[in-house]
Amino acid sequence: MRVGEEGSGGAVPNVITYTTMIRVYCAKRILNKALTIFRTMVEDGMVPNRFTYNTMVQGFCDAGRMELVKEVVEMDSFKPDTCTFNTLMTTHCREGRIEDAMKVFDQMVELHVRRDYASYIMVIHALCENGEFGHVEKLVDELLEKEVLKKRGGCTLLIAAYNLAVFVYLCKNGKAKKARMLFGQLLDRRSKVDALAFKTLIHGH
């Protein structure tokens, strides 16, 4: 019996009710039930919002069920946003699928979805770990040019999240000025300062 069904004595459900139930089942890895709740929601005439869809994307990614993620992302009623793409990139990077993460990163431009600083953090960190510093530098250039780090919103960044290797690479290759600009923009966001990054910049000069 559905929540709020006549005679059940329950409260009338809304989008928040269904989304919360979906989140609970995803957390418990009962994914088929989460999908059933979603379908029930639609049948009941409720219009899922971006939080509903992103809850499923996050839950299915956490469970490693990328086929279900694909099913959600390809739903005609869903328009993936920055949060969706960041979740997909996080999953690919966590599983070592850097090429897939970069494809998602590139798709954001193709689909006119805004990249935020979290989008850049994930791919920069993954590329650093893979030793692809040439690609990293291009992304740093884009970050500085678009002043992505100066745009407000979201959580406070850790300079360490950009990976000390970025600063080491730039300084060792005669690009300390660029490293300093990146460091400065991070500080402008009142990010927590990494002592090793400071030392790297000092030695880089």
pLDDT digits (tens, 9 = 90+) for 120-178: 888 888 888 888 888 988 988 887 788 776 665 544 444 455 556 777 778 888 888 88
CB neighbours of residue 57 within 10 Å: 24
CA atoms within 13 A on the CB side of 171: 19
Q: Range of 52's domain? A: 1-75
**What is the reported pLDDT for 85?**
96
The pLDDT assigned to 97 comes to 93
Q: For residue 130, with 0-12 CB atoms within 10 Å meaning exposed, 13-18 middle and 19 or more buried, which class applies?
A: middle
Q: Is residue 36 part of a domain?
A: yes
Reference 35, options 52, 11, 10, 47; nearest CA is 52
**Interacting residues of 80 by C-beta distance below 8 A, sequence separation 6+:** 53, 73, 111, 113
- Distance, CA of 37 to CA of 56 (rounded, Å): 11
Total domains in the fold of the chain: 1
Please give the Cα distance from 82 to 42 (Å, whole number). Answer: 24
Residues 31, 25: contact at Cβ < 8 Å? yes
Q: Each residue of 80-111: pLDDT tens digit?
A: 999 999 999 999 999 999 999 999 999 999 99
Q: What is the pLDDT of residue 84?
A: 96
Q: In a 3-state reduction of DSSP, which class is residue 192?
A: strand
> Domain holding 36: CATH number?
1.25.40.10
Integer-rounded Cα radius of gyration of the chain: 21
* 160 domain residue, yes or no: no
Q: What CA–CA distance (Å, rounded) separates 81 from 112?
A: 9
Domain contains 125? no
Whether 66 is in a domain gets the answer yes
In a domain, 68, yes or no: yes
Using one digit for the tens of pLDDT, what is the confidence trace for 10-36? 667 899 999 999 999 999 999 999 999
- What pLDDT does residue 146 have? 82
* In contact, 68 and 49? CB cutoff 8 Å: no
Residues 6+ apart with CB under 8 A from 174: none
Report the alpha-carbon distance of residue 46 to residue 61 in Å, rounded: 24
pLDDT score for 155:
41
Residue 121 resides in a domain: no
Classify residue 55: in a domain, yes or no: yes
In a domain, residue 148? The reply is no
Return the pLDDT at 1: 38
